[in-house]
Amino acid sequence: NYSMSFDGVDDYISLSPIDLSYSNQMTIMAWVNANDLTSEEDNTIIRQDWGEPNFMIAFDNNMNNANPPVFGFNVENTSGTNVSLEYPISLQDFEGIWSHVCGVYDGSEMRIYIDGQFVYSAPHSGNIRSGGSNPNYLAIGSHPYPGYLNETFDGLINDISIWDIALDSIQIQDYMNCSPIGDESGLVGYWDFEDDSDITTAIDVTGNGNDGIINGATYDTDVSPQSCQLTNVNGCDSTAILNLTI
């Protein structure tokens, strides 16, 4: 019923940092519908940062250089090596339309998926770093450093999730079309923005307690397109059986 709207100025959701240092795998994915990807050079969807990003997905329009705009996925390992995987895009393809974006790291390779389709990869290895030499912060819709209202996202974000496993292409497409329930294996944090009873809190549906504090962002009824099949209470595909007596 709802997505979360960010104004590209000072809206964001602050979260407590998530420690994935025990894992050499992760998946981050979200639905996004941008209004404007050109005013800010970097447009953060979600970012955990201590001065360098532990992990993030974002748009970068490269307005201050001659490089093409990109969708980026960053992962820093526990050795301090930070790999930024950047897939060239046309910004207009992501403005005014819902798109599904996803970054996957499996311990040997990073991959980007757009609308459920694999588009780009690069090698990387090691467990995922948590924190660094400075305090660590995590936010949706903006650079997470307190008071640093830059690299903000202007538009709608929906169904954003963090996993400590590497989802495969079939799983990505399944969850793109039909949202997780919240109790899936490997799901660490999931914000579907469906509970608008408290306009100050973004509920983590997993029950892991990663609730966020909403700063300015608002609930919106413009939502991402999805096509769930008939499901049972466990989210599994079900078959409707009709017995007729003639």
Residue type, 108: S
Answer yes or no: is pLDDT of 244 > 70.
no
Which residue in the block uniquely carries the two structure tokens 């201590």?
A: 50
Q: What is the mean pLDDT of residues 212-227?
A: 95
pLDDT at 239: 36
Whether 245 has a pLDDT exceeding 50, the answer reads no
Mean pLDDT over residues 18-31, rounded? 98
Predicted pLDDT at 170: 98
Region of residue 173 (left: phi > 0; alpha: psi -120 to 50; beta: else): alpha
pLDDT at 64: 85
The pLDDT, as a whole number, for residue 36 is: 96
What's the rounded mean pLDDT across residues 155-182? Answer: 98
Q: Please check the confidence at residue 243 and state whether its pLDDT lies above 80.
A: no
At residue 130, does pLDDT exceed 50? yes
**Residue 66 pLDDT level (bands cut at 50, 70, 90):** confident
**Strands across the sheet containing 70-76:** 82-88, 70-76, 53-60, 42-49, 137-140, 12-15, 212-215, 201-202
The DSSP symbol for 174 reads: H
- Alpha-helical runs (H) found in the chain: 169-177
Q: Of 7-11, 98-102, 229-233, which gets the smallest average pLDDT?
A: 229-233
- What is the band of 226 on the pLDDT scale with cuts at 50, 70, 90? confident
Mean pLDDT score, 96-118: 98
Query: What mean pLDDT is predicted for residues 171-179?
Result: 97
Contact (CB, 8 A) for 169 and 87 = no
Query: pLDDT-based confidence at 232, cuts 50/70/90?
Result: very low
Q: Is the pLDDT of residue 166 over 70?
A: yes
237 has a pLDDT exceeding 50: no
In the chain, the percentage of residues whose pLDDT exceeds 90 is: 85
pLDDT at 105 over 60: yes
pTM, entire model: 0.91
- 120/63: higher pLDDT: 120
Phi/psi at 216 (5° precision): 85, -35
